[in-house]
Amino acid sequence: MELLLDNIISHPLFVKGVEAALATLLIFLVVRIAQAAASKKIDNKDLRYKMRKTIGLTGSVLVLAVILTIFSAQMTNLTVIIGALSVGIGFALREVIQSFIGWLALSFWGLYKPGERIQMGGIMGDVIDIGILTTTVMECGAWVKADLYNGRLVRLSNSLVFKENILNYTSDFPFLWDEIVIPVRTVSDHKLARSIIEQAAGSALSEISEGAQEAWRNFVRHYRVEEARLEPMVTMSFDSNYIEFTLRYVVDYRVRRSTKDRLFTRILAGIEETNGKVQIGSTTVELSDLPPLSLQIEKRN
C-alpha cells in the first residue's frame, strides 16, 4: 500500500496536478479580492457589474492558460485518452456545451444584456447577470399583477437562446404601446367624455411622449420599419350597453402600472366635474313588463 502511495505521489502527473490545483486556488483568491475591491470602490452599478465580470473572465482565462502550461509536456501522452473520452463527454455534457455556446452568442451578438427586460422560456423579468452557463433573471408577474417584481430569482440555461423565442422589452426601443378602456353610459355627452380623456392623456404622458419620439428616431435608422403613431390616440365604439373609449399610448416599460394609475385618476376626476353629463358605464339588464297575474286562493276546511 505504501509502495502504491509512493508511486502515485512521485508520478509526474500527480505533481503537475498539485501544481495546477495550487495555481487555480491562488488565482481564485486574487479574483475574489479584486471583485470585492471593485464592489466597494465603484459606485456606478453598470460599471461595477462589468468590472466584476471582466475580472472573473480574466481569472478563468488565466486558470486555463496555467493548466495548459503545466501539462504542456504531457499533452502528447494525453491525446489518445482525450480523443477516446471526447465522444462520451460530449454526449454527457451536451447541455453544458450548448449553454457555453449560448453564452458566446450572447457575448458577441448582444441578444440581451444585463438590465434589459426579457421573456424567454415562459419567464419574464429583468436580466441581472449573464454567466457562462446560465442567465439570472429577477422575475416579474406570476401571482403579481402588472410588470412588477415578485421576488423570485430565476436561472435560465443559456442554451435556451437557440430553443426559445426571446422577447426583449428594452433593446433599441425601451417603450411599449399600452391601452386602457373607459366605459361610458350611452346617455352621456360623448364629445365631452372624449375631451376629458384626451386632456388627461396629454398632461400625464407629455414627458414620456418626448422621450419616445427621440428613441423612435434612433430606432428607424437601424431597422426597416413603418412609421408609427406615438401620440396618445382615443377611439370610440359602442353597443346597447355603453360607449367604450380606448386610449392607446406609448409608455416606458418600467412605469406601466403607475402610468395607468395616473391616467385613471385624472380621467375619473374629470368625469366627476361634469356633474352627471358623463357617467361611467356598466352592463345593464332591462326587464320587460309582465302581464298582470290573477291569483285565486282556495279555502280548505
Q: Dig out the grid coordinates for 127 from the structure.
A: 436580466
pLDDT of residue 266: 93
Residues sharing a CB contact under 8 Å with residue 128, sequence separation 6 or more, in sequence order: 114, 115, 136, 137, 138, 153
Query: Distance (Å, rounded) from C-alpha 246 to C-alpha 197?
Result: 9
Q: Dig out the grid coordinates for 145 from the structure.
A: 399583477
pTM (two decimals): 0.66
pLDDT of residue 153: 93
Which ranges of the chain have pLDDT less than 50? none
Half-sphere exposure of 18 (CA within 13 A, CB side): 7
Is residue 247 within 8 Å of 234, Cβ to Cβ?
yes
Question: 108-168 adopts what CATH topology?
Answer: SH3 type barrels. (2.30.30)
Say if 108-168 and 175-272 have the same CATH topology.
Answer: no
End-to-end CA distance of the chain: 114
Q: Dig out the grid coordinates for 64 from the structure.
A: 486555463
Domain extents in the chain = 7-92, 108-168, 175-272
pLDDT of residue 297: 59
Architecture category of domain 175-272 in CATH = 2-Layer Sandwich (3.30)
pLDDT of residue 31: 85
